[in-house]
Amino acid sequence: MPDHSAVTVIGLGPMGRALAGAFVNAGLRTTVWNRTPGRDTDLVERGAIRARSPEEAVAASELTVVCVLDYDASDAVLRRDAVAAALKGRTVVNLTADTPGRARDTASWASDHGIRYLDGAIMSPSVTPGTPDAVFIYSGPERLYRDHLPALEALGGTHTHLGEDIGRAAAYDVALLDIYWTSMTGYAHALAAAKAEGITARELLPFAQGIAAILPPIFEATADQVDQDDITGEGSPIGSTAATMAHVIHTSEGHGIDAALMRAAKGLVRRTIATTNENDGFMRVTELLGGTTTTR
């Protein structure tokens, strides 16, 4: 059985420090290493062990958790000859955000070097590790996930294994971040447009929250429509959507505000209407984006 009493954390940015802190607080022997010195001071004062090199760090524990900026950064550490040799026969859980393709490539490299490998992502802010609000997703060998889950649960929150395909966690991560950052970009644009009309962000807030509140049931309804290819425009035809988007564009550009985001969205809608009709549903856009549209 794996040793659940020890863990190594590679990467001590805000999220990495939060992960290491949660392990320390849970009583695990936590070894830490970061490419830039000095970020481990507080953790060491709390009981973490400072490694002098990444190979020393990974050799200290059966389980290494990596959380750095991207896979370029993780590869720069893990693929050092000395580190790869020290990791042989051990497990890496890579919580670094990147693409599904990069996850699969790294898993292949790990297999070639006798390293057990799980990919994962953190779907909550850096203040959440160690609390019930943390959200972690993983993909890769389920048995390996189950073997190390007792240690990973020291991070708090929920832990979900999404499947054996090593790229699946990254695919979820990319899709969910697409929702988040597209939404935040739209919100920032809305605040700029509102400000130009003399409306403060605080004044708009309760109405913005109202818009956000109607999205979950819409997500649920449209998920079934997309999966079952039964997309209708009942109650909200895509032709009406195009007209609404035009209002946003004209108002924004009238104030000199860049409306490129909404112009791009309207362009997608117009192209979708050309392949369906203006009475169809907005989610036909998914077919256009996926290259599967057919004239209806």
- What pTM, to 2 d.p., does this model score? 0.91
What's the domain range around 83?
6-166
pLDDT, tens digit (0-9, with 9 covering 90-100), for 83-134 = 999 999 999 999 999 999 999 999 999 999 999 999 999 999 999 999 999 9
Per the model's pLDDT, the better-predicted residue between 230 and 192 turns out to be: 192
Q: Give the pLDDT mean for 67-75.
A: 97
The residue from 166, 183, 217 where one domain ends is: 166
DSSP result, the chain = ---TTEEEEE--SHHHHHHHHHHHHTT-EEEEE-SSTTTTHHHHHTT-EE-SSHHHHHHT-SEEEE--SSHHHHHHHHTSHHHHHHHTTSEEEE-----HHHHHHHHHHHHHTT-EEEEEEE-S-TT-TTSTT-EEEEES-HHHHHHHHHHHGGG-SEEEE--S-TTHHHHHHHHHHHHHHHHHHHHHHHHHHHHHTT--HHHHHHHHHHHHHHHHHHHHHHHHHHHHT----TTSBHHHHHHHHHHHHHHHHHTT---HHHHHHHHHHHHHHHHS-TTSBGGGHHHHHTT-----
How does residue 277 score in pLDDT terms, banded at 50, 70 and 90? confident
- Same domain, yes or no, for 157 and 16? yes
- Same domain, yes or no, for 156 and 175? no
% of the chain with per-residue pLDDT over 70? 98
Establish if 295 belongs to a structural domain: no
pLDDT reading at 3 higher than 90: no
What's the confidence (pLDDT) of residue 4?
Answer: 84
Establish if 1 belongs to a structural domain: no
What's the confidence (pLDDT) of residue 294?
Answer: 54
- Same domain, yes or no, for 263 and 196? yes
pLDDT, tens digit (0-9, with 9 covering 90-100), for 213-246 = 999 999 998 898 899 888 877 767 898 999 999 9
pLDDT, tens digit (0-9, with 9 covering 90-100), for 202-217 = 999 999 999 999 999 9
Q: Assign residue 61 the CATH number of its domain.
A: 3.40.50.720
